[in-house]
Amino acid sequence: MSRSHWFFVVAGLLALLIATILVSATRGPVAVDLLVVARAAANAIGVPAGLTLAVEPYPVRETSLPVPVLSVRYVYPIQFDVPATSETIVRQIRLPRIVLGATVGFALAAAGTVMQGFFRNPLADPSIIGVSSGAALGAVAAIVFAATIPLPVMAFIGALLAAFAVYAIATRNGETPVATLLLAGVAIQTFLGAVISFMLVQAGESLREAVFWLMGHLHNSTWAEVEVTLPLAVLTVGVLYAYAHDLNVLLLGEADAHALGIEVERTKRILLALASVVTAAAVAVAGVIGFVGLVVPHVMRLLVGPDHRILLPTSALAGASFLVTADTLARSGTAEVPVGIVTAAVGAPFFLYLLRRREVHTV
């Protein structure tokens, strides 16, 4: 694809994402008119206007600890006149979930793109180095043991610990061979899977909640989750974008990349760390949502080519739209279905179709 078209492609995908978000917000038990949704959404656009640092009590067992809490103050410059019920439904119930879904899709698709390029392997996805398993372990532990540390925090920490363990196991003499990393990732995932299964067997009453989390879900999403996840994802993907060219060169092989001036091992560490953080951020709030990070990068590679300078942003935006759409389907039925089931159920057949129709077998 010609470079002069890049801007239009990214702008188009951004427009598609906004449209998807607005249409999604009209859907639900109470139908809301698209114009009303647009106005309510515009009202919800907050501009950070300051930081406040407060010390708040945090309950630990029978006592409480003073914990410093940093909070952002927002101003809302747009004030359309919208019926109060509609405003509440759209702004307090649907939008947090939709925006969080977009964020998670954005993060997973970006991380998947990076991992596939990094591993030069079409099977790579964001969880390949154990991030999702680590997050799942943290989350299930939080649910089963009713931990005082919030679930997303446990999941986030578990994710990063698992990724770091895989990295440390695969590294020898300052070098991390990609193949070793892949195998260590598989081994750690299997091991953590066994630990999670054991905890589920012991779970008792909390089993249902744990299983629901494991399937990936976006229900009961809050603006608070968006406030943490969205900036983290956008920031991390932004830094990853600065490494898009390095990823291109790494596709030629590590020897070539070194000959072209890439500090190969350092670049690999940075890419792994960033991709792990962005994946961990997504999994911590939404559970294990499969296929977004695998399928979306493949589809975008077919459409825009292998150059990560265009592939990374387009995949991230397409991933956001895809997950919002999938979650809209997940909550449109009579009973809510975990969104992870929808992405897999829709994604797998579509992927198989692509596999038969066109060449997906190369990264």
Footprint on this chain of other proteins (rule: CB under 8 A): 3, 120, 241-245, 248-249, 251-253, 255-256, 258-264, 305-307, 309, 362-363
Q: Please, which residue, 27 or 120, has the CB nearer to other proteins?
A: 120
Question: Which is nearer to other proteins, 5 or 245 (by Cβ)?
Answer: 245
* CB 245, min distance to other proteins, A: 6
- Output the smallest distance, CB 160 to other proteins, in A: 25
- Cα–Cα distances in angstroms (integers) from residue 240 to residues 89, 91, 207, 243, in the given order: 35, 31, 37, 5
φ, ψ of residue 70 in degrees (nearest 5): -100, 120
Q: CB-side exposure of 52: number of CA atoms within 13 Å? A: 8
Q: Using CA atoms, how far apart are residues 174 and 26, in angstroms rounded to an integer?
A: 53
67 DSSP assignment: E
Q: Nearest distance from residue 175's CB to other proteins, in Å?
A: 12
The residue (of 122 and 231) whose beta carbon lies closer to other proteins is 122
Q: Is 336 helix (H, G, I), strand (E, B) or coil?
A: coil
Alpha-carbon distance values, 96 to 103, 218, 316, 337, 362 (Å) = 10, 9, 19, 18, 37
Which residue, 41, 38, 40, 45, is CA-closest to 74? 45
170 touches 176 (CB < 8 A): yes
CB 275 within 8 A of CB 118: yes
CB of 347 to other proteins, least distance (A): 23
* Minimum gap (Å) between residue 251 Cβ and other proteins: 5
The Cα 99–Cα 320 span in angstroms is 9
Q: By C-beta, is 194 or 259 nearer to other proteins?
A: 259
Q: Which is nearer to other proteins, 243 or 291 (CB)?
A: 243
Q: Which is nearer to other proteins, 183 or 251 (CB)?
A: 251
> What is the CB neighbour count within 10 angstroms for residue 337?
18
Least CB distance from residue 206 to other proteins, whole Å? Answer: 46
